[in-house]
Chain A
Amino acid sequence: GEQVEQRPPHLSVPEGDSAVIICTYTDSATAYFYWYKQEPGAGLQLLMSVFSNVDRKEEQGLTVLLNKKDKQLSLNLTAAHPGDSAVYFCAVSLNTGNYKYVFGAGTRLKVIA
């Protein structure tokens, strides 16, 4: 089945710097891509979702890139601030009509003031 590898597992960046998280998936039929943020002891909050016909999406200081050739999805937080410190997960879902979502292992981001 689909597998998602996420890296790095831990990331520390100074305030104002960029933070980049990368996910690699295995199934070329994967069509739906998501990035979630999890604060300690809480549920997951959606940051951005993209469909496979999108290569780049930007919203509020976040940039998602999708490289279908390399089966790679990335999240770039530009100008990170301490409030961005959390665990970030990528998730993917296969073709339309699928109810299974596969998550990456998560990246613990710490933004140092």
Chain B
Amino acid sequence: AQTIHQWPVAEIKAVGSPLSLGCTIKGKSSPNLYWYWQATGGTLQQLFYSITVGQVESVVQLNLSASRPKDDQFILSTEKLLLSHSGFYLCAWSLSSNERLFFGHGTKLSVL
């Protein structure tokens, strides 16, 4: 069975500090990977997707970057956090394009 693990579960960070969030998918080779951001009480905004290792497409610019260093790993990062980065970050995977998304449990980020 496939599993998706996000880390950390929660982070409290200072404005201007760096950030790195991770996501690992086990049990599925070459998944499509996605990062979503959800403001508190808000909808999901797709940030990035990746079809293969080393290839990441940006959907919306939020002063964040993403990388896929391994087939089963997706990293979201920034060198300098803004207050507006606060929210809930969700990683997801799919078998192929347009297929249902399987979500991780998310990382709650508070930027102070």
> Which residues of A come within 8 Å of B, CB atoms?
31-32, 34, 36, 41-46, 49, 89, 91, 93-106
Would you call B106 and A105 a contact (CB within 8 A)?
no
B98 touches A93 (CB 8 A): yes
In the complex, B79 has a CB within 8 A of chain A: no
A106 in contact with B43 (CB, 8 Å): yes
Number of interface residues of B (CB under 8 A): 23
Known contacts A43-B103, A44-B92, A89-B43; can you find 17 more A-B pairs with CB under 8 A?
A31-B98, A42-B106, A43-B104, A46-B100, A89-B44, A91-B44, A93-B98, A94-B98, A96-B97, A96-B98, A97-B98, A99-B32, A99-B49, A99-B51, A100-B46, A105-B43, A106-B43
Task: Classify the secondary structure of B's interface with A.
Answer: strand
Residues of A within 8 A of B32 (CB): 99
Chain B: minimal CB distance from A98 (Å): 6
**Residues in B lying within 8 Å of A, measured CB to CB:** 32, 34, 42-46, 49, 51, 57, 59, 90, 92, 97-98, 100-106, 108
Instruction: Please give me the residue from chain B that is nearest to A96 by CB atom.
Output: B98
Count A-B pairs with CB separation below 8 Å.
Answer: 60
B59, B90, B97 — most chain A CB neighbours (10 Å): B97
Known A99-B32, A106-B42; contact A43-B97, beta-carbon cutoff 8 A: no
- Known A-B contacts A41-B106, A43-B106, A103-B44; the reply to A98 vs B100 at CB < 8 A is no
Interface contact A49-B90, CB-CB below 8 Å: no
- Chain B residue numbers with a CB within 8 Å of A44 are 44, 90, 92, 101, 103
Q: 30 A–B contact pairs at CB < 8 A?
A: A31-B98, A32-B98, A42-B105, A43-B90, A43-B92, A43-B103, A44-B92, A45-B103, A46-B101, A49-B100, A89-B43, A89-B44, A91-B44, A93-B98, A94-B98, A96-B97, A96-B98, A97-B98, A99-B34, A99-B49, A100-B46, A100-B59, A101-B46, A101-B101, A102-B46, A103-B43, A103-B45, A104-B43, A106-B42, A106-B43
